[in-house]
Amino acid sequence: MNQCESCGMTLDEKTTSKFDERFCIHCQNQQSGELASKEQVKEGSINAAMQV
């Protein structure tokens, strides 16, 4: 099972970035290919955990 090298999300055909298979669609912008900053990834992870 592959995981995003930035946030640890499990990668599958729906969540793997089209630019780099090491990252998920949340950590790598699917329009520009730009990676999210450490702070953006941290905030996104915290927000996702709070919604569970």
Q: pTM score, two decimals?
A: 0.83
pLDDT digits (tens, 9 = 90+) for 5-52: 999 999 999 999 999 999 999 999 999 999 999 999 999 888 888 886
Closest residue by Cα to residue 24 from 48, 3, 50, 45? 3
Domain limits of the chain? 1-38
Compute the chain's Rg from CA coordinates: 11
Pairwise CA distance, residues 28 & 36, whole Å: 6
Structure tokens at 20: 């780099």
Instruction: State which amino acid sits at residue 13.
Output: E
